[in-house]
């Protein structure tokens, strides 16, 4: 219990979970989402923006492997440059693309973890991107994180009711 919750009293404390829960519908299903505290949001942002280097490397290898097969056959018209630690396609870094993909995966995972399971004994702490990818196609993943983002941080207009 925080100092403020103590001052607000027992009735507030009993309603606290409801206050920090929002819901939204997607595809006819109602999802409940937990609004994160500021420290949780900060931690989520840090994890999203700083993906694991080993994971970035795995993604880079996976993404650049088809290109590396043709390294010896590359011509200037192909616009592919092979460096020591990166492959550039039309001037764009495959390593940077791998980092962006890892950041996107982290964002999806962090947001999905905010969903409240229907079974109160379950939790979302050990959910991985592979679990999410096995359940939802990319378009549903994007729709889910958009709905979660709307639920946890409504726009100024929604907050004012205009």
pLDDT at 156: 53
Q: Does 29 fall in a domain? A: yes
Q: Does 117 fall in a domain? A: yes
pTM comes to 0.84
- At residue 157 the predicted structure's pLDDT band, cuts being 50, 70 and 90, is low
Q: Sort 47 into a burial class: Cβ within 10 Å, 0-12 / 13-18 / 19+.
A: middle
Q: Does 147 fall in a domain? A: yes
Q: Among 20-24, 56-60, 132-136, 155-159, whose mean pLDDT is lowest?
A: 155-159
The H or E element containing residue 137 is: none
Q: Does 129 fall in a domain? A: yes
pLDDT at 161: 56
Q: Does 160 fall in a domain? A: no
Q: Does 43 fall in a domain? A: yes
Task: Tell me how many domains the chain contains.
Answer: 1
pLDDT tens per residue across span 39-51: 999 999 999 999 9
Question: The domain containing residue 82 runs over which residues?
Answer: 22-154
By the 8 A CB rule, do 96 and 87 touch?
no
Q: Does 28 fall in a domain? A: yes
């Amino acid at each position: 219990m925080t100092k403020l919750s103590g001052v607000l009293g027992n009735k507030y404390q009993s309603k606290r979970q409801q206050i920090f829960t929002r819901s939204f519908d997607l595809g006819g299903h109602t999802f409940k989402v937990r609004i994160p505290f500021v420290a949780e949001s900060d931690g989520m942002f840090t994890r999203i923006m700083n993906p694991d280097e080993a994971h970035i490397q795995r993604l880079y290898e996976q993404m650049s492997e088809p290109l590396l097969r043709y390294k010896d056959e590359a011509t200037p018209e192909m616009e592919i440059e092979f460096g020591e630690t990166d492959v550039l396609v039309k001037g764009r870094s495959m390593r940077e693309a791998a980092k962006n993909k890892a950041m996107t995966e982290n964002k999806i995972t962090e947001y999905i973890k905010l969903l409240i399971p229907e079974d109160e004994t379950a939790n979302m702490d050990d959910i991985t991107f592979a679990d999410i990818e096995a359940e939802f196609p990319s378009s549903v993943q994007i729709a889910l994180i958009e709905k979660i983002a709307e639920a946890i941080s409504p726009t100024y207009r929604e907050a004012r009711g205009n």
